[in-house]
Amino acid sequence: MGRIEAVFSRRKKPAFIGFTVAGDPDKETCIRAAMALINGGTDILELGVPFSDPVADGPTIQKADERALAAGTKIDTVFDIVRELRKKTGVPIVFLAYYNMVYHRGIDRFYKEAHDAGVDGILIADMPVEESGDVYETARRYGIDPIFLITQTTSDERIKKIASRAHGYLYLVAVLGVTGVRDTVSSGAIDLLQRVRKQTAVPLALGFGISTPGHAKICAEAGADGIIVGSAIVDIVERNQGNPDTMVQDLKTYVEQMKKAL
Amino acid sequence: MQKKGRYGKYGGQYVSETLMSALIDLETAYGKIKKDREFVRELAAFQAEYAGRETPLTFCPNASDELGCRIYLKREDLVHGGSHKLNNTLGQALLAKRMGKKRLIAETGAGQHGVATAIVGAALGIPVEVYMGEVDTKRQALNVFRMELMGARVIPVTSGTRTLKDAINEALRDWVANVRETYYLIGSVVGPHPYPLMVRDFQSVIGKEARRQVMKKEGRLPDTIVACVGGGSNAMGIFYPFVKDDVELVGVEAGGEGIDTGKHSATLCAGEAGVLHGTLSYLLQDDDGQVLPTHSISAGLDYPGVGPEHSMLKDSGRVAYTAVNDPDVLDAFRFLSRKEGIIPALESAHAVAWVIKNADRFDRDDIVVINLSGRGDKDVAEVAAMQGRF
């Protein structure tokens, strides 16, 4: 059983999946921030691989990508961060990447290096299931879970196709739009959860726009297997760039509060 | 068999999941209207009565004398709005209307595509919002005003390099958030399938007319056709109807300050395969796959990607892609203005510059067709400023 599957099979309440951008604001602080998330109770860590043109992301994560790149983060740095984290934790690590980062390095090389470093899953934001043939086979060969997105505009027919390739969990996009903090969890998100549930037994995690304990509670009550929080975490990193000690404390407290609501 | 939306290995649909249903709907809708006689008639009527087609194929006696070959210009500068861009926006906006979309969004670099979208928005009564890099809103201020005059809202983009690439990023983000009501009207043969196909089809009117016109005037096909390449829509439009013929096709990219300086936009000359804005194509990128900043004297060519079909035509060798640098472009801008009384857009001046630089390789009787994709009025203030005027 893979690390991601193990999280969902032994869980008693929904998993908390926390996202931060690898190398934001720099390599060392990012490792401390990631460990703070894990110490606060994060069940799965998502690491964004910074990209120059993150079209699926809103301003918060775009700026985090820019900070990471300005700090000199390369793909090698991102793998270094994973290797450092693997010395300290067995929590599953999932990459969120844009396809050019993978394609340019070579699909096989990227997945092999990811596997060797200790990555458990990879989601490519601009890779719909129709284009995922090579990536899917490579991921399976290296025992990495290919994670796919499902959104409110995904037809039932395509949900079936995506679910048939899903491993680890399915990432359900709670809003129409890019990443970023929002005030409420839309009713569309709950409808989507129920629609996908009918088609698959793969764990379903809701993300995009989820930031408060109130949101976490709504998702848990609707039967989500996990919630994914990105921009709210990146906000804390951004606010405390100059003060890593406060950052670490705030991140841990934030995750603890969110976990309590689940 | 060629996979759907592929040009060799290039093309595809690399977009976030939210947009897949919109692309599937678009593909279906376009497939239908393509064969719909009523649509074809409606588009032809707009082209003739509104856009001013067909555009002339102008023989240039003075430039021909000077350069030692028979030079023709395909006069897309005379299309309403001042460039070839309206060919595409008319087609797509009529399609959007049939699809029941309530809002058009577009990206623009030089502002020509934004202007062409504002035009169709006003003509067809559909609200238009145009994303434009902040840098470009400054160097093409006149076009910003033209768009606003026609009722479009121009949104300056302040993320990333603040040019065309980032304008496309923001337009894609807007589309993801408003996908049900909004039609994203892409201005070049770039982006995910079916855009490269659709834009090429709508722009092919250029090459079809040119073919007819040159046959009538010269009784034979031209020896060489030259067009500038940014995203590559005017080039695809004139090349496509000649791809199977024995005609030399030359695509001229923006060499900027020189390819070896790194300050250029010569994607096909200096890039490698990569994925940006939904398509696999040549791309200017660093060792890690991060997209590189670009430079060109012409905002319309200032883009790190290029249409996927061009990538295939480069690999197959069917089209020769080359680049000219900013100073040669300025010389060509002045040359055509003075010799023929035609001020070319700085984009189109790249094609003119290549012919001037390569005049030696042509004989007196060789027929060279340059796609004059736009007029240079929009660039006059900037060129004057470079000369220290105003």
ipTM over 0.85: yes
Q: Is A57 a catalytic residue?
A: yes
pLDDT, average across residues B351-371: 98
Q: Which residues of B touch A153 (CB under 8 A)?
A: 17-22, 179-180
**What pLDDT digit, counting tens, does each position of B312-324 carry?**
999 999 999 999 9
Top-confidence residue, A178 or A160: A160
Calculate how close chain A gets to B368, using CA atoms only, in Å: 38
Q: Is A66 a catalytic residue?
A: no
Q: Percent helix, strand, coil in chain A (nearest 5)?
A: 50, 15, 35
pLDDT, residue B2, reads 56
| Interface touch A56/B277, C-beta < 8 Å | no
- B22, B169, B179 member nearest A55 (Cβ): B169
Calculate how close chain B gets to A148, using CA atoms only, in Å: 9
**Cβ of B82 under 8 Å from any chain A Cβ?**
no
Phi and psi for A67 in degrees, rounded to 5? -60, -45
CA dist list (Å): A113 to A96, A107, B115: 15, 10, 47
Domain extent at residue A65: 3-152+228-256
Does position B160 have pLDDT exceeding 90, yes or no?
no
Q: Which of B3, B9, B17, B28 to mutate to test the interface with A (most CBs of A within 10 A)?
A: B17
- Tell me how far the alpha carbon of residue B50 is from its chain's centroid: 20
Identify whether the C-beta of residue B197 lies closer than 8 Å to the C-beta of residue B190.
no
pLDDT, average across residues B262-288: 98
Residue A222 lies in a domain: no
Identify whether the C-beta of residue A13 lies closer than 8 Å to the C-beta of residue A53.
no
Residue A223 lies in a domain: no
Identify whether the C-beta of residue B85 lies closer than 8 Å to the C-beta of residue B113.
yes
Residue A192 lies in a domain: no
**Cβ of B52 under 8 Å from any chain A Cβ?**
no
Instruction: Give the model's confidence band at B1: pLDDT under 50 very low, under 70 low, under 90 confident, else very high.
Output: very low
Q: Which of B275, B276, B277, B285 to mutate to test the interface with A (most CBs of A within 10 A)?
A: B275
Q: How many domains does chain A have?
A: 1
| Interface touch A176/B18, C-beta < 8 Å | yes
pLDDT, average across residues B225-248: 98
Q: Active-site residue among B69, B84, B269, B277?
A: B84
Does position A50 have pLDDT exceeding 70, yes or no?
yes
Q: Which residues of A touch B5 (CB under 8 A)?
A: none
| Interface touch B22/A153, C-beta < 8 Å | yes
- Residue B162: closest CA among chain A residues belongs to which residue? A53
pTM, whole model, 2 decimals?
Answer: 0.96
Question: What per-residue string of b and e applies to B364-384 under the rule 16 or more CB within 10 Å gives b?
Answer: eeebbbbbbbbbbebbbebbe
Q: Which residues of B touch A64 (CB under 8 A)?
A: none
What lies within 8 Å, CB to CB, of B118 at 6+ separation is B128, B130, B146, B147, B150, B151, B152
Residue A171 lies in a domain: no
Does position B179 have pLDDT exceeding 80, yes or no?
yes
**What pLDDT digit, counting tens, does each position of A97-144 carry?**
999 999 999 999 999 999 999 999 999 999 999 999 999 999 999 999
| Interface touch B176/A178, C-beta < 8 Å | yes
| Interface touch A100/B285, C-beta < 8 Å | yes
**Cβ of B160 under 8 Å from any chain A Cβ?**
yes
How many angstroms separate the CA atoms of A77 and B304, rounded?
A: 25
Does position A93 have pLDDT exceeding 50, yes or no?
yes
- B12, B169, B172 member nearest A131 (Cβ): B12
**What pLDDT digit, counting tens, does each position of A158-168 carry?**
999 999 999 99
- Residue A74: closest CA among chain B residues belongs to which residue? B288
Residue A170 lies in a domain: no
Residue A132 lies in a domain: yes
Residue A209 lies in a domain: no
B354-B358-B363 Cα angle (round to 5): 130
CATH label of the domain that carries residue A142: 3.20.20.70
Q: Which of A153, A178, A179, A195 to mutate to test the interface with B (most CBs of B within 10 A)?
A: A153
Residue A148 lies in a domain: yes
**What pLDDT digit, counting tens, does each position of B93-119 carry?**
999 999 999 999 999 988 999 999 999
